Structure 1
């Protein structure tokens, strides 16, 4: 009888503990500033649960012998408090490449030691840097970003004068592993993030059948790049380069096809011999060059041509210099312009009147990205292709990885 009295409350206690550890979540987003215009949320407990299930389902991972660097402190001993939702944000009027995240610290000194063990270099004033990642320790918080430009501004917004209207996770995420949301005034546009065995999907619709058929068709063509965009999508992506580009250039349609190739590049320099006679020296290096064709359509080709000339994007040889990969040629026709690489011309794929961007991974692409670390190159080499598709108000991004013995969550 006494055992039963002990077992019942013990079972309830264990059930409550299990709930709070794996399911209870603090949904207050206290680390998203009021002037954030984009937010990425990751449900950490859901991610942890998915990892545990995948780990259990793959016994080969259980006995895996990993050689650990004893000088590197593990993440669980880094001094960071594990959040229920990882909150990554972009601030209005900052560069597209600038993203930030704030974490709570159990022990700032332990976190500092962790950064040093990961070879972060101190820049002074509690700011550390490694490659393109910056970290600032601010009291019991750590500010992490792809830049340090907004660290002071974030400190003022979140810690010195925190906003009154705190956001909650329910406004951004609905039972998915994560979400990416775009904020415009009171309007929030949400896209779910799902991690599958060998792919990541970001979307705002469950109806992806027609877009999936585009992927299947493009994969058979074996091209590095395939793009087709209408005026709305052209305007959307042109803003990454210049806020007024799409309106000024009057581009209403874009179609592009490209392949990559390794070529020998000749470098000519001049020197002098022993008699001070000028001599020509030739050296050779291997570089990665795209072969491409781009179709641009405009309802006002005259105005578009004048805009290109005003920007000095067309030289005396009719080369479109806004594209750095030379040589090329730009031709004007009744509906717009065709830009072709002249070294090795390729044929433009047929129009299908859909909106999509397809980028196939290539060893040539990865080898040319010298700014990436070996670890980043290894991660990218696992990707097969990236696809963006848009149909009316539906959007779908698919990052497809190469098939492997382990799912992505155990590989990455």
Structure 2
């Protein structure tokens, strides 16, 4: 029995060594690929790590992947047979002198006949043959050029001329290995997707029920507070956000246009100092005066006012600002009812909003009795944002939101300063289904027509408040 266990253990160990050795070999080969010296942005897709993550998820939760697709294994493999060698890592790059949205890449061809059949007969993107080895899409945004061993392609929404560049990529002209380029830090990353350019370094990972995203970038807009603080917001809020930092003076100078709306970006930059927070806690009932018209006994058209209950969000926004200056501004426009604090609906439509000012801060709220709490606590982050999609769907009667955002549970974003003019942003997008891989779920959302279903065909009754 002991001998049998030892043999079994040895076999398992050997299989594991072969398994990890195989993937390690693929990584080494993939990281020896070359990119043009003129590359100014590089996107890496770690194919093997995605395979492994999804495979583990399939083993743990096989019922999550047993959909209505009844194709056999052979048919599925045939559908994926492009004639290309899929490497451990796929690199997409943009180049100097080209638009930022134009990307290039290349693949080795494993089977020329299969590849030719794929691009001419089976490709989901209709291609037009321009010459023997050069094809382009009908809208002139996608191009491929190939020889017997390699295919190079370009995607250019700007419809740039890219054939010369594709020829240089095929001929390996002015190329450098990724590991020897200024993008070498991407080489050994195990993240599913990573991206780098002059001012950004981003990473994305797809696990069961969650997408994790991080981005370090050069900050051109905000000067974060040296020691960030924020008010304690309700953790059960539908939406909550706070920002503790100043906007750079160059940005403010560009936004000094006088605007009649208090919530416009122009007014915001005019009054904002160094802190703002926003909170949507729940749904409340607000009584609106709806103005209508009817005819009296003398057939004269007369105005009639009707009180109407309406469900609206309980929203509060607190802003560090000169409260007296904001109050005087509202009074000068005749937009503030001083006894009640109500702001005119011509300035803030849709909801009744109330103004309060206190010791260098103001509060705008749909709740007249709301009292601002000015106490703050310390934080490592200068920015925070969270939305609870479950509560948002429940409190927002818009079919589109329920139909498409119903897949998600919560989005949370944090940002902190990591040095002079540098910011690190981290976020998590959670799904309601915690068992299926997030990438698979996301692809299903888009497959079901996420971008085609955006149709704001709904009516909203806007009452007139007097």
Q: 1:336 aligns with which of 348, 361, 366?
A: 361
- 1:190 match: secondary structure: strand
Displacement, 1:292?
1.6
Which residue is 2:63 aligned to? Answer: 60
Q: Indicate conservation of the 8 Å contact 1:270/1:278, yes or no.
A: yes
Q: How has the CA–CA distance of structure 1 residues 294 and 80 changed in structure 2, closer, same or farther, with 3 Å as cutoff? A: farther
CA distance in 2, matches of 1:69, 1:277: 72
Once the two structures are TM-superposed, the CA of residue 352 in structure 1 deviates from its matched residue by 1.8
2:384 counterpart of 1:384 = no
1:261 lines up with 2:289 in the alignment: no
Once residues 300 and 368 of structure 2 are traced to their aligned partners in structure 1, the CA distance between those partners, rounded to angstroms, is: 34
Q: Is the Cα contact below 8 Å between 2:292 and 2:304 reproduced in 1? A: yes
Deviations 1:270-314 (A, max 9, x none): 6889x986588999999874322122114x6678789x87xx999
TM-score (norm 2): 0.52
Q: For structure 1, which runs of at least 5 residues remain unmatched after alignment?
A: 1-12, 117-124, 128-134, 145-149, 206-213
Q: Cα gap change, 1:259/1:365 in structure 2, threshold over 3 Å: closer, same or farther? A: same
Q: CA deviation at 1:226?
A: 2.5
From 38, 54, 57, the equivalent of 1:51 is 54
From 381, 389, 397, give the equivalent of 1:362.
389
Q: Which of residues 220, 223, 226 is equivalent to 2:237?
A: 223
User: Does the CA-based 8 Å contact 1:262-1:364 persist in structure 2?
Assistant: no
May I ask how many residue pairs the two structures share in their alignment? 347
Cα distance, 1:170 vs structure 2: 2.6
How has the CA–CA distance of structure 1 residues 29 and 351 changed in structure 2, closer, same or farther, with 3 Å as cutoff? farther
Q: Is the 8 A contact 1:313 1:321 kept in 2?
A: no
SS of equivalent to 1:66: coil
Distance 1:285 1:160 in 2: 69
CA gap of 1:115–1:316, structure 2 versus 1, over 3 A, is farther
Q: Any stretches of 5+ residues in structure 2 without a counterpart?
A: 1-17, 108-114, 128-136, 146-152, 217-228, 257-264, 338-342, 443-466
* CA RMSD of superposed structures (Å): 6.0
* Aligned pair partner of 1:195 in 206, 221, 227: 206
Is 1:293 paired with 2:316? Answer: yes
Contact 1:359 1:387 in 2 (8 A): yes
Q: TM-score, normalised by structure 1?
A: 0.57
- Displacement of 1:48: 1.8
Contact 2:211–2:430 (Cα < 8 Å) also in 1: yes
Q: How does 1:156-175 map to 2 (within 5 A)?
A: 169-172=183-186, 174-175=188-189
The answer (yes or no) to whether the contact 1:225–1:357 under 8 Å persists in 2 is: no
Deviation at 1:30, TM superposition (A): 6.0
**C-alpha deviation, 1:223, in angstroms:** 0.9
Cα distance per residue 1:67-100 (max 9 Å; x no partner)? 4699xx98954969657336488999x9xxx977
3-state DSSP class of the match of 2:190? coil
SS at 1:194 equivalent: strand
Name 2:142's counterpart in structure 1: 137
SS of residue matched to 2:50: helix
Q: Deviations over 1:2-21 (max 9, x none)?
A: xxxxxxxxxxx999976565
Larger Rg: 2
Task: Say if 1:372 and 1:228 are closer, same or farther in 2 by CA, change over 3 A.
Answer: closer
TM-superposition CA deviations, 1:137-158 (whole Å, max 9, x none): 33454638xxxxx523585996
